[in-house]
Amino acid sequence: MKEHVIDRILTGSIAEELEVEPGDVLLSVNGHEIEDVFDYHFYTNEEYLTVVIRKQNGEEWELDIEKEYEDDLGIEFKNGLMDDYKSCHNKCIFCFIDQMPKGMRDTLYFKDDDSRLSFLQGNYVTLTNMKEHDLERIIAYKLGPINISVQTTNPQLRCRMLNNRFAGEALLKIDRLYQAGIPMNGQIVLCKGVNDGEELERSIRDLMRYMPVMESVSVVPVGLSRFREGLYPLEPFTREEAEEVLVMIHRFQELCMERCGLHFIHASDEWYLLADKELPGEENYDGYLQLENGVGMLRLLKTEFEEGLQEAVRQIPSGRQPLNSRVTIATGCLAAPVIEELTEKFMESFPQIQVQVIPIVNYFFGEHITVAGLLTGQDLIGQLKGKNLGDRLLLPCSMLRSGEEVFLDDVTLTQMTEVLNIEINIVKSGGQDLVSCLLKDLCSAD
């Protein structure tokens, strides 16, 4: 029987009232052994529960609980998944983890392909590591949406791209999920000369059959670091090739809108910047279903920033002027032109605050990696040290490890502050957060 050690009891919760304590062990709910967090939430959603707990002194308590449906018991476990994480057994030709240099922290080399993380964290899964039991539970528990790394609907090509002879037949699981009405999102990592062109067109047409249960499909360009020795030879897309990808996607968007009122197939922001094309309007993103894949992230940033700026101008008391200050924003080369456009609008409203935007080239992973989230502390320090950064430096939160003040290469925020000798502010992902951070001196002044 699986045992789950309790780590924390929430104040005022049902569990606290019943004197459940950290260190106690959950044994069963309504006679069911709990496999993982999905079982736990499924079985504790009932109004009447019998929960068996083993206390730290070895006593077993059988607790009869009456509560509102879906009310939480207020228990947190040492392992949030309540099970081991499932690693990926594929050898995908585009896998970024295989393009990592040696000597970084161990967690950066873990390849997950755990369907449970798709629901909990939005991760994309290939379905190749999903067992029949996993599929049956998703359908029985009516979980959704599940995010699927499709790459191609050509079974033979998928086997080659994932280096897994079962990768083609794993696509049949999409049919099962579709028939069960489980909401899905798809992803295609586009590799030049592999799954683009006619193969991309085939994949889009095949996936359109699953609309609207499959709510969206993103097309993102493969990320290529400089650490690719011995790996499958892949090349970056040119501007002209990016334009061709956009033409195809826009053509299918029109068709999908006619059929079910969804744009369905979406190009990530990189394609528009590479092709030097204007980002689509907000209405083209169907509610921003794939922000984590960089689909519409910059459009949403622009929208939120402009709304935040208008609100700031309205709220500042008449006659009150911001403090004179100079602020630097350092970000990835991908977002830098958009950030610069936004800060020019900001300075029109608040000329006392001068803002410069410095795009940071990713020398660590290679210049083809342009997103802020893969910049290292050493690249930031190397390209900012010695420059006149003004009074404050703003960095996006995506550069730091979640919940910590540490960059990818283990350089800490404290170390960077000491080396650059400047106040560093971390900006949350929203455009309104950027406006607030730029106005920090004004907001804090009396």
Q: Which pLDDT belongs to residue 86? A: 75
Token digits for 284? 């083209």
User: Does 183 lie in the same domain as 40?
Assistant: no
User: Does 154 lie in the same domain as 102?
Assistant: yes
User: Does 196 lie in the same domain as 137?
Assistant: yes
Q: What is the pTM of this model?
A: 0.86
Helix orientation angle between 336-349 and 297-315, rounded to the nearest 10 degrees: 10
Where a domain ends, among 294, 326, 357? 294
Distance CA 147, CA 118 (A): 6
Give the count of domains, the chain: 3
Is 195 contained in some domain?
yes
User: Does 114 lie in the same domain as 54?
Assistant: no
Is 356 contained in some domain?
yes
Is 17 contained in some domain?
yes
User: Does 249 lie in the same domain as 107?
Assistant: yes
User: Does 346 lie in the same domain as 319?
Assistant: yes
CB atoms within 10 A of CB 203: 25
Is 286 contained in some domain?
yes
Q: Where are the beta strands (DSSP E) in 402-442?
A: 423-427
User: Does 308 lie in the same domain as 287?
Assistant: no
Largest CA distance in the chain: 70
Distance CA 299, CA 331 (A): 17
Q: Which pLDDT belongs to residue 30? A: 95
Q: Which pLDDT belongs to residue 2? A: 83
Task: Specify the amino acid at residue 410.
Answer: D
Is 357 contained in some domain?
yes
Q: What is the CATH number of the domain that holds 357?
A: 3.40.50
Where a domain ends, among 44, 77, 110? 77
CB proximity list for 67: less than 8 A, separation 6 or greater? 14, 47, 49, 73
Q: What is the CATH number of the domain that holds 132?
A: 3.80.30
Token digits for 63? 């607790």
Alpha helix positions (H), 33-154: 37-43, 115-121, 132-141
User: Does 375 lie in the same domain as 245?
Assistant: no
User: Does 324 lie in the same domain as 283?
Assistant: no
Where a domain ends, among 242, 259, 294? 294
Domain of residue 177, residue span: 97-294
User: Does 383 lie in the same domain as 361?
Assistant: yes
Q: What is the CATH number of the domain that holds 44?
A: 2.30.42.10
Is 83 contained in some domain?
no
Is 89 contained in some domain?
no
> What averages of pLDDT result for each successive group of 10 residues across the chain (446 residues)?
89 94 94 90 91 94 92 89 80 90 76 66 84 91 91 97 94 96 96 97 98 97 93 95 98 97 97 95 95 93 95 76 85 95 94 95 94 95 96 95 88 96 93 92 51
User: Does 405 lie in the same domain as 382?
Assistant: yes
Question: Which string of DSSP letters, residue by residue, matches 185-219?
Answer: EEEEEE-TTTTSTHHHHHHHHHHHTTTTTEEEEEE
User: Does 343 lie in the same domain as 218?
Assistant: no
Give strand pairing partners of 9. 75
Is 85 contained in some domain?
no
